[in-house]
Structure 1
Amino acid sequence: MISQFVNPAKRKKRLLGELHDFPSGTMAIGRLDVPSEGLLLLTTDGKISEKIRSSQFEKEYYVQVDGNIDDEAVEKLKKGVEIGFNGKKYITKLGKAFLIEDPKFPLRSQKIRDERHGPTSWVAIIIREGKFRQVRKMTAAVGFPTLRLIRIRIGTIKLNNLKVAEVIKVDTLL
């Protein structure tokens, strides 16, 4: 599924608008790329969308990476790493990162891989920016490619506190 309401690239994926009869003008606040999962906020207010996508709000991700990520790599993630963005080199802004235990999310419908391919580990990454595929590029830059990416928080809204398709008032964030 694509986390948008229009499909200009004409990909053969379902769109959000096919799930529910949303009000006219509904938009996703910060998209998730096709292989990513997690919290997605929707709004009909472009100003709220812009504000939440800004650096005012933290975005937290749980990331399963290929291999046993070490403290040195986690420190690099916190301090900022060089990634490519719009054909140029970019140093990510300071953020937060720490090792976490396997959060035991339900299995994906598309299997990533299994233990025969070597160990995996989990890291939490908290950023205030959101460049194109930034978290995936960050983990690859420190030598641990992303296998699974789940956004669990935007600002104070947490995935584990919500039910699927739950409606909340986002003006409580502002």
Structure 2
Amino acid sequence: MNNNKHFKIYKPYGYLSQFVNNGQKQKSKRLLGELYDFPSGSMSIGRLDEKSEGLLLITTDGKISNYICSRGIEKEYYVQVDGSITDEAILALQNGVEIGFDGKKYMTNPCKAFKIKSVPNFPERSKKIRDDRHGPTSWISITLQEGKFRQVRKMTSAVGFPTLRLIRVRIGSIYLNQMGIGEIIEIDTPTITSH
């Protein structure tokens, strides 16, 4: 009998995508275990860095974790960037941009990217984002099938529009929908299709 447990959560800003502190520098860091009493053996599928928010899947089943990480499953992010993003910048993101990764130059794969016309309705973040008095901001959607460390942030910087807020809204066919920050929902075995 399969007793594995699976959850989808809205990871808040300021949390690491892990359950144990594995470094001296991380003593004061906030971990996922503070949000809920997850079963032992829980692991996050993929990661969101400390400053990123949104959909994170947690499972006690290593096979599911490996499947999602190795199959090029789409991950969609809504990104608030500094400035009024141009069509040229969107095109560059779609075609792939050069970023630094592991001390080397890396060309990102072509991806889906578009400007979001109206401001998405997300809960307010715990740490304030600068407001429009300091100049315009834009929201864009970026969908990747790869996931290098801090890739989305590096991509928007590479086209001249640094990321202010980053929220993952979809992993394959699983959506964040209207979840609140820090909300946790237990789900059946995730059937992840690419979309």
TMscore range, shorter length: over 0.9
Measure the CA separation in 2 of the matches of 1:170 and 1:78. 32
Pick one of 67, 75, 85 that aligns with 1:51.
67
Pick one of 100, 121, 133 that aligns with 1:116.
133
1:1-174 residue pairs with structure 2 within 5 A? 1-10=15-24, 11=26, 12-100=28-116, 101-160=118-177, 164-173=183-192
Q: How many residues align?
A: 174
Is the Cα contact below 8 Å between 1:54 and 1:129 reproduced in 2? no
Give the partner amino acid of 2:140.
V
Q: CA deviation at 1:9?
A: 2.6
Unaligned segments of structure 1, at least 5 residues = none
Is the Cα contact below 8 Å between 1:29 and 1:43 reproduced in 2? yes
> Which of the pair has the greater relative contact order for Cα pairs under 8 Å at 6+ separation?
2
Q: Counterpart of 2:7?
A: none
Measure the CA separation in 2 of the matches of 1:22 and 1:51. 21
Give the superposed CA RMSD: 1.5
TM-score, with normalisation over the residues of structure 2? Answer: 0.84
Alpha-carbon displacement from aligned partner over 1:125-163 (angstroms, at most 9, x marks no partner): 000000000000000000000000000000000000657
Give the partner amino acid of 2:21.
N
Is the Cα contact below 8 Å between 1:55 and 1:129 reproduced in 2? no
TM-score, with normalisation over the residues of structure 1? Answer: 0.94
Q: CA deviation at 1:76?
A: 0.6
More strand by share: 2
Counterpart secondary structure, 1:40: strand
Q: CA deviation at 1:172?
A: 2.0
Counterpart secondary structure, 1:167: strand
Give the partner amino acid of 1:165.
I
> Which deviates more, 85-94 or 45-54?
45-54
Measure the CA separation in 1 of the matches of 2:106 and 2:87. 23
Give the partner amino acid of 2:123.
P
Is the Cα contact below 8 Å between 1:96 and 1:127 reproduced in 2? yes
